[in-house]
């Protein structure tokens, strides 16, 4: 009897057993899944490479000293989803949140949002950088100007070279 025939026989017997005792198999599967699900609240996903080295490893200790001196370089993202971006109330709340975070969060080196975003204007041989919301919009006409400014098509400037 070949190995293939033995495997086919084993799988056939296994599937016949499952079909004969399907209620027991389903109940057992549900119990196993339920027991495993009790561990979900304590499940932790580790994405940093630091967790792969033991604490007493010299490379890990050197990395920790480096982070203490220069910082970890981690970023935190806060996502706001307004009903409408070009809304005076939302932009006012965004400005208040930006300055509150800037004032109240310790150990924050840089905070970037629409409030301090840079607006770049390029031309042949020039690049002008100005604050996007240096002057917050005060009325509907200011909002319209902001919308037009941000939705203006990007123009690419190429210098022509002749040989």
pLDDT < 50 regions, the chain = 161-163
| Cα 115 from Cα 95, distance rounded (Å) | 6
Q: What is the 3-class SS of 9-35, one letter each residue?
A: HHHHHHHHHHHHCHHHHHHHHHHHHHH
Matching residue, tokens 């400005």: 95
Reported as type and span, the H/E element at residue 126 is strand 126-131
- Report the pLDDT value the prediction gives residue 158, as an integer from 0 to 100: 52
- Report the pLDDT value the prediction gives residue 7, as an integer from 0 to 100: 93
- Extract the tokens encoding 152: 């203006």
pTM: 0.50
Q: What is the pLDDT of residues 6-28, one digit of tens each?
A: 999 999 999 999 999 999 999 99
Matching residue, tokens 């310790």: 106
- Report the pLDDT value the prediction gives residue 15, as an integer from 0 to 100: 95
- Report the pLDDT value the prediction gives residue 102, as an integer from 0 to 100: 87
- Report the pLDDT value the prediction gives residue 125, as an integer from 0 to 100: 85
- Report the pLDDT value the prediction gives residue 163, as an integer from 0 to 100: 45
Smallest CA-to-CA distance from 50 within 41, 40, 63, 39 is with 63
Q: Are 94 and 56 in contact (CB under 8 A)?
A: no
Q: What is the pLDDT of residues 51-65, one digit of tens each?
A: 778 888 888 888 888
Q: Are 111 and 101 in contact (CB under 8 A)?
A: yes
| Cα 35 from Cα 120, distance rounded (Å) | 57
């Amino acid at each position: 009897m070949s190995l293939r025939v033995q495997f086919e026989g084993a799988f056939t017997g296994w599937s016949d057993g499952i079909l004969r005792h399907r209620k027991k198999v389903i109940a057992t599967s549900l119990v196993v899944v339920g027991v495993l699900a009790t561990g979900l609240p304590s499940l932790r996903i580790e994405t940093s490479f630091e967790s792969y080295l033991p604490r007493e490893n010299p490379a890990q200790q050197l990395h920790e000293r480096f982070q203490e001196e220069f910082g970890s370089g981690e970023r935190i993202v806060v996502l706001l989803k307004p009903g409408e971006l070009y809304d005076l109330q939302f932009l006012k709340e965004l400005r208040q949140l930006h300055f509150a975070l800037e004032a109240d969060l310790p150990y924050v080196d840089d905070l970037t949002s629409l409030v301090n975003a840079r607006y770049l204007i390029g031309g042949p041989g020039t690049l002008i950088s100005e604050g996007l919301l240096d002057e917050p919009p005060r009325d509907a006409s200011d909002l319209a100007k902001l919308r037009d400014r941000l939705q203006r098509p990007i123009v690419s400037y190429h210098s022509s070279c002749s040989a």
